[in-house]
Chain A
């Protein structure tokens, strides 16, 4: 590699490059009051930079914290769902094993299943107003017509028909 040691002053004086690289002796005079003006402007920029830095770090912290905060409510619901299928696993084990992963789909059947199966024992300690009407109304209405209707329809005229005629 052919490079001369360079101290910057080993030019040929006739070289036009010497003129080009010679620092210019021209000076521009200082203007009064400009120093204070520049210092104030620099201080303002420093403050602005600090404010922007603080603001950006706050935004970054919020962006990091927000997903963590939003992810928190989903995590406690997940462990509840696996506990529900075993007691209600009576109708079908195959499909229910794949269903428990979504939280809302499994909680509703488990409430219904538990309500149907355990409304009678838990009716007294739990809230009776919500569990009793929903769980008790359909079974009470359905069994009563089925049990009473055939005897009433079939049984009532029969004795009446039988009794007056006989």
Chain B
């Protein structure tokens, strides 16, 4: 039993870590931070390995939350530095991350963000998402639809008025 758990953990890591870290890399500024966040997500997963039913969904949601924390930390630092120095020198790193994917994580409310991440990035079918989130399948589909509409509106706005 313990052996099979170890094997499953190892297989998941080999198969999934590069993809998760690559996805994370689109959201943060450098490879090192992406590795740190992906590693932290795996460590949290393995610390409660027996209690997690769907590891991929857990990893994506954990990474999203960690990325959001990372952005908040950067924002605090940026404000602190802005108070001391000029703003132009600090604004540059925030623009390096993929703006559209950042928008996905940043703009959507949690209720809509989680199904989007689990469905489109963790490749989970709607039935599994409904089990994970405790919502009905119809509710999950409605959430996905609402999230897409919201993202489409955001994209249209950003295309019409580029920064």
Contact = CB atoms under 8 A, between A and B. Distances in A.
Interface of A: 1, 3-8, 15-17, 19-31, 34-35, 38-39, 41-43, 45-46, 49
Given A25-B22, A30-B13, 9 more contacts: A3-B138, A15-B152, A17-B155, A27-B19, A30-B17, A34-B39, A38-B43, A42-B45, A49-B47
B23 A23 contact: yes
Contacts of A41: 43
Nearest to B123: A23
A31 B13 CA distance: 11
Interface stretch (B64-72, B74-82, B113-121): B113-121
A28 B159 CA distance: 30
Interface of B: 9-10, 13-14, 17-19, 21-26, 31, 34-35, 38-39, 42-49, 100-101, 103-104, 116, 119-121, 123, 126, 138, 141-142, 144-145, 148, 151-152, 155, 159
B35 A31 contact: yes
A3 B43 contact: no
Given A16-B155, A16-B159, A34-B39, A6 B10 contact: no
A8 B120 contact: yes
A142 to B, nearest CB: 83
Contact of B47 (A15, A16, A25, A42): A42
Contacts of B23: 23-24, 26
Q: Secondary structure of the A side of the interface? A: loop
Nearest to B119: A8
B120 A27 contact: no
Given A8-B120, A24-B23, A17 B145 contact: no
B13 to A, nearest CB: 6
Contact of A26 (B26, B38, B123): B26
B120 A21 contact: yes
21 contacts: A1-B142, A6-B144, A8-B119, A20-B101, A20-B151, A21-B116, A21-B148, A27-B21, A27-B22, A28-B31, A28-B35, A28-B38, A29-B18, A30-B17, A34-B35, A35-B13, A38-B46, A42-B45, A45-B43, A45-B47, A46-B47
Given A3-B145, A20-B104, A21-B116, A38 B39 contact: yes
